[in-house]
């Protein structure tokens, strides 16, 4: 299924769902894995692309294809988490890095889980997924100022939860 | 210091950035917070989402979904085609009915022509056997007895001219004009005409149309004997009579068959009253046009009467016995024929003046009636569905040359797309 994307975003580029899947599947998978857990991430990522294929004709090209996909993925993760009995999964950390070792990872997981969903979301979008404030605003559908404010307060909460001894 | 996080993320403009840097240099607590934020940020980067899987599955799903979408479109197109075909099939009987209606109107118009022409046709029994003096080419003209225009020669000439062009409508109009202009001669002397007058004329028709009406009605009633009594009373009140009556009343139900004869004028009222006596199970009525038979019989009767009159005159003038015996023998034959014709005419008069109604009263069993009714209804419903499905199947079969090439083309296109 091909579609001409707005020139401001991708001039004279046809958006193909197959190519999108090849180029962005890993990012979407990781995005979903952080939110719904590794075991459900495959389903969430696949459903994201299936949904994207269905609504592709409605895509007006006003945003980047990746942020558009992440918006769909975010909704898909929320849907999956709503239907789960065991609630949202906690994030998993990989092998410790030299910088990361100064923070207790288990405590950080708990602190993240204690954040409000809105605060946790912006933290994940920025710190884990690496999106800029503008991109987060697009994906989450909130103003950039709100992104800044939520991010700051989320970090304050994390810092307070982890206590002085835990950080640094 | 809400800008601290934005500062650390590099999302501040130059002025705000300089301001934050100044604060950081002056405020140790803020500097500590900044360090903590940076440490948190670094720690969060260590989140491991795991190794992605499922791309192959996604790709097959995407192609499957695309095919499914395509299938969906074709399925929609297929169902739309079938719906369209069924619509066409459904419309065909309507169109045919529409055509039939117009045909019926046309035939009715032709029938009116026949009514117009048939009465004058009786003005002369011999004339019917004579060849037509003109050669009309239209269908209406074909069915027009020539004697109908015998009294209107000028109109006959006009009509002949009109029909030669095959203009049926124009011919019909001229025929009607001719019929209006035509003054029919009496078939019989006035008193005989009165004697022979039969039936009732249809209002609006130039000449009489004589109808024999009949009806058939089946009514379910609660009390058979009461229904029979009511029907008898009703018929008597309409100055009619009961021809036959057969009642079979049993504990489990029963039926009563009656043949009623009612004056034709009271036929609609009688049918309505019978239907109002219970639950109508079946009703139908019919009218038979006996105009032709009636006027023909009247004409023959008049001919035989004229012959009788002529023989009586000859008998009076007979000079010898042999001639008288010969005339008497002929007169006897003529009178026999005349009586037969009068009997036939009276019979026709009876048929025209009285209508026949066959009525059947039924009474269901007192117990289990509803179950039997439901069973009967269900059986009838099943039969109807079968009939409908059969009709659709026949149409489907007959329309095979229409839908089969389309279906094959659609299948080939969908296969090629795959």
What's the ipTM? Answer: 0.81
- Packing angle, helices B55-121 and B400-417, rounded to 10: 170
Q: Which of A116-130, B41-55, B138-152 has the lowest average pLDDT?
A: B138-152
Residue B374 lies in a domain: no
Q: Which fold has domain A2-83?
A: Rna Polymerase Sigma Factor; Chain: A (1.10.1740)
Mean pLDDT to the nearest integer, A71-81? 90
Domain boundaries along the sequence of chain A: 2-83, 100-166
Shared-domain flag, residues B125 and B90: yes
Whether residues B349 and B408 share a domain: the answer is: no
Structural domain including B282 reads 208-366
Confidence label for B73 from pLDDT (cuts 50, 70 and 90): low
The DSSP call for residue B188 is S
Pair B263, B310 in one domain: yes
Q: What is the pLDDT, as a whole number, of residue A70?
A: 92
User: Does B49 fall in a domain?
Assistant: no
Q: Which of B34, B50, B69, B417 to mutate to test the interface with A (most CBs of A within 10 A)?
A: B50
How does the average pLDDT of chain A come out, rounded?
81
Cβ of B47 and A42 within 8 Å?
A: no
Do B360 and B239 fall within a single domain? yes
Q: Do residues B221 and B266 both lie within one domain?
A: yes
- How confident is the model over A114-145, as pLDDT tens digits? 899 899 999 999 998 999 999 999 999 999 99
Of the listed ranges B46-60, B98-112, B169-183, the one predicted with least confidence? B98-112
**Given a cut of 50, is residue B276 above it in pLDDT?**
yes
Distance of CA A23 to the CA centre of its chain: 17
pLDDT-wise least confident of A153-167, B204-218, B268-282, B389-403? B204-218
More reliable by pLDDT, B68 or B322: B322
In angstroms, rounded to a whole number, what is the distance separating the alpha carbons of residues B418 and B412?
Answer: 10
- Does residue B397 sit in the same domain as residue B266? no
Query: What pLDDT was estimated at residue A85?
Result: 72
Is residue B270 in some structural domain? Answer: yes
Whether A163 contacts chain B with CB within 8 A: no
Q: Is residue B46 part of a domain?
A: no
Position B348 scores a pLDDT of: 84
Identity of the residue in B46, B49, B61 whose CB atom sits nearest the CB atom of A33 = B49
What SS3 state is found at B401? helix
Question: Residue A45's pLDDT band (boundaries 50, 70, 90)?
Answer: very high
Q: How much is the mean pLDDT over chain B?
A: 73
Contact with chain B for residue A25, Cβ under 8 A: yes
B78 and B159 co-located in one domain: yes
In a domain, B248, yes or no: yes
Are B96 and B143 contained in the same domain?
A: yes
* Helix (H/G/I), strand (E/B), else coil: A2: strand
Average pLDDT over residues B373-392: 88
Single out the residue of B216, B234, B253, B189 nearest to residue B355, CA to CA: B216
Outline where B318-368 has alpha helix (H): 321-353
pLDDT digits (tens, 9 = 90+) for B335-359: 998 999 889 888 888 888 888 999 9
Judged by CB atoms closer than 8 Å, whether chains meet at B47 and A123 is answered as no
- Higher-confidence residue of A147 and A104: namely A147
Per-residue pLDDT band at A59 (split at 50, 70, 90): confident
Which of residues B133, B151, B185 is at a domain's end? B185
3-state secondary structure of A32: helix
Contact A21 B59 (CB under 8 A): yes
Inside any domain, residue B63: no
Q: Worst-scoring range by mean pLDDT, A78-87, B140-149, B371-380?
A: B140-149
A93 vs B48: CB contact, 8 Å cut-off? yes
Q: Residue B316 class from Cβ within 10 Å (0-12 exposed, 13-18 middle, 19+ buried)? A: exposed
pLDDT band at B116 (very low <50, low <70, confident <90, very high): very low
Task: Say if residue B226 is in the same domain as residue B348.
Answer: yes
Q: Has residue B402 been placed in a domain?
A: yes
Phi, psi at B362, each rounded to 5°: -125, 150
Residue among B218, B366, B33 nearest A160 (CA): B33
What the block records as the tokens of B167 is: 């203009």
pLDDT the model gives residue B36: 87
Q: If one looks up domain A100-166 in CATH, what number appears? A: 1.10.10.10
Let me know whether B216 and B360 are in one domain: yes
Number of domains, chain B: 4
Please check whether residues B357 and B212 belong to one and the same domain.
yes
Q: What is the pLDDT of residue A102?
A: 65
Structure confidence at residue B193 as a pLDDT band (50, 70, 90): low
Residue B318 neighbours by CB under 8 Å, 6+ apart: B324, B327
């Amino acid at each position: 299924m091909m579609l001409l994307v707005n020139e401001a975003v991708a001039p004279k580029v046809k958006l193909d769902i197959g190519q999108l899947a090849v180029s962005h599947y890993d990012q979407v998978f990781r995005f979903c894995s952080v939110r719904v857990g590794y075991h459900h991430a495959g389903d969430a990522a696949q459903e994201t692309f299936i949904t994207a294929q269905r609504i592709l004709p409605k895509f007006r090209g006003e945003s980047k294809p990746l942020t558009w996909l992440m918006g769909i993925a975010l909704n898909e993760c929320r849907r999956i988490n709503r239907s789960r009995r065991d609630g949202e999964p906690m994030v998993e950390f990989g092998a410790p890095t030299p910088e990361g070792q100064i923070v207790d990872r288990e405590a950080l997981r708990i602190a993240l889980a204690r954040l409000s969903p809105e605060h946790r979301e912006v933290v994940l979008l920025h710190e884990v997924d690496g999106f800029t404030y503008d991109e987060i605003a697009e994906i989450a559908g909130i103003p950039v100022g709100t992104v800044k404010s939520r991010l700051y307060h989320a970090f304050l909460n994390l810092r307070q939860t982890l206590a002085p001894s835990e950080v640094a | 210091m809400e800008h601290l996080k934005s500062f650390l993320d590099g999302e501040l403009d130059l002025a705000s950035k300089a301001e934050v840097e100044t604060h950081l240099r002056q405020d140790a607590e803020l500097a500590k917070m900044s360090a903590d934020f940076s440490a948190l940020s670094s720690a969060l980067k260590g989140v491991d989402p795991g190794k992605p899987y499922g791309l192959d599955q996604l790709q097959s799903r995407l192609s499957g979904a695309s095919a499914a979408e395509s299938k969906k479109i074709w399925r929609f197109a297929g169902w739309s085609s079938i719906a369209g075909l069924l619509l066409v099939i459904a419309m065909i009987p309507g169109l045919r009915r529409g055509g039939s209606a117009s045909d019926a109107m046309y035939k009715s118009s032709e029938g009116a022509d026949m009514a117009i022409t048939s009465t004058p046709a009786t003005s002369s029994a011999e004339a019917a056997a004579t060849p037509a003096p003109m050669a009309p080419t239209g269908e209406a003209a074909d069915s027009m007895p020539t004697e109908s225009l015998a009294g209107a020669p000028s109109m006959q000439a006009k009509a002949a001219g009109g029909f030669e062009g095959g203009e049926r409508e124009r011919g019909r109009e001229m025929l009607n004009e001719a019929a209006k202009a035509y003054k029919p001669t009496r078939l019989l002397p006035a008193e005989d005409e009165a004697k022979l007058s039969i039936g009732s004329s249809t209002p609006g028709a130039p000449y009489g149309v004589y109808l024999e009406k009949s009806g058939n009605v089946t009514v379910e009633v609660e009390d058979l004997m009461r229904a029979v009594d009511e029907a008898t009373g009703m018929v008597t009140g309409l100055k009619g009579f009961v021809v036959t009556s057969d009642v079979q009343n049993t504990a489990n139900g029963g039926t009563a068959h009656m043949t009623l004869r009612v004056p034709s004028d009271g036929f609609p009222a009688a049918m309505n009253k019978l239907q109002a006596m219970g639950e109508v199970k079946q009703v139908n009525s019919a009218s038979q046009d006996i105009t032709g038979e009636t006027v023909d019989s009247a004409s023959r009767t008049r001919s035989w009467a004229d012959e009788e009159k002529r023989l009586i005159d000859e008998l009076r003038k007979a000079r010898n016995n042999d001639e008288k015996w010969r005339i008497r023998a002929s007169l006897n034959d003529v009178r026999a024929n005349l009586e037969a014709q009068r009997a036939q005419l009276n019979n026709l008069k009876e048929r025209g003046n009285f209508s026949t109604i066959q009525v059947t009263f039924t009474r269901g069993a007192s117990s289990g009636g509803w179950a039997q009714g439901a069973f009967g209804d269900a059986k009838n419903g099943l039969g109807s569905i079968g009939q409908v499905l059969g009709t659709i199947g026949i149409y489907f079969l007959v329309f095979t040359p229409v839908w089969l090439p389309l279906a094959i083309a659609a299948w080939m296109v969908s296969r090629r797309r795959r």
